[in-house]
Amino acid sequence: MEYHVRTMEERDVPYVSKIENEIFSLPWSEKSFIDAACNPDNIYLVCERTGEIAGYCGMWTVMGEGNVTNVAVHPSYRRRGVAEALLKEMERRAKEKSVTIFFLEVRQSNEAAKKLYEKLEYSPIGTRKRFYERPVEDAIVMSKIL
């Protein structure tokens, strides 16, 4: 499938928010996405296919570190390489900002995401107990050195 990964724009936020609300029990608000995407230190991307947003991801960067805040793919586009395309482009752009290490949290039960992160050479480095709500669940903290 042919995908186009690009910088998230304000006009994308209603579509991103729709995916966010479908997937997450505690979704970000549209304002949160706008604020994060407008910060020049951050990297927020969308992945499109034929003009439709298939997924998105985001990262905050501070002092050479990148914290992956969001990775989400619309259910109809899962297991088609969308998340991988987003993460690879985010890594490329992060290198341009002199980011040397990434961190992220993933639900302990999210086997598909953990497999993808391991494929992309993220390593588990710890656990955040009861990090997630609705339902309460531990987070696996993973990192990757670029």
What pLDDT digit, counting tens, does each position of 127-139 carry? Answer: 999 999 999 999 9
Instruction: Answer yes or no: pTM beyond 0.85.
Output: yes
Number of domain units in the chain: 1
Cβ-contact 49, 1 below 8 angstroms: yes
pLDDT for the residue numbered 73: 98
Question: Nearest Cα to 58, choosing from 71, 49, 48?
Answer: 71
Residues of the domain holding 76: 4-145
Active-site residue (options: 44, 91, 105, 132): 105
Contact 98, 68 (CB under 8 A): no
102 with 118: CB under 8 angstroms? no
Options 44, 56, 77, 117, the catalytic residue: 117
Q: Residue 10 is part of a domain; what is its CATH number? A: 3.40.630.30
**What was the pLDDT predicted at 51?**
86
Q: Reply yes or no on whether 65 is catalytic.
A: no
Catalytic residue status for 137: no
1 pLDDT tier (thresholds 50, 70, 90): low
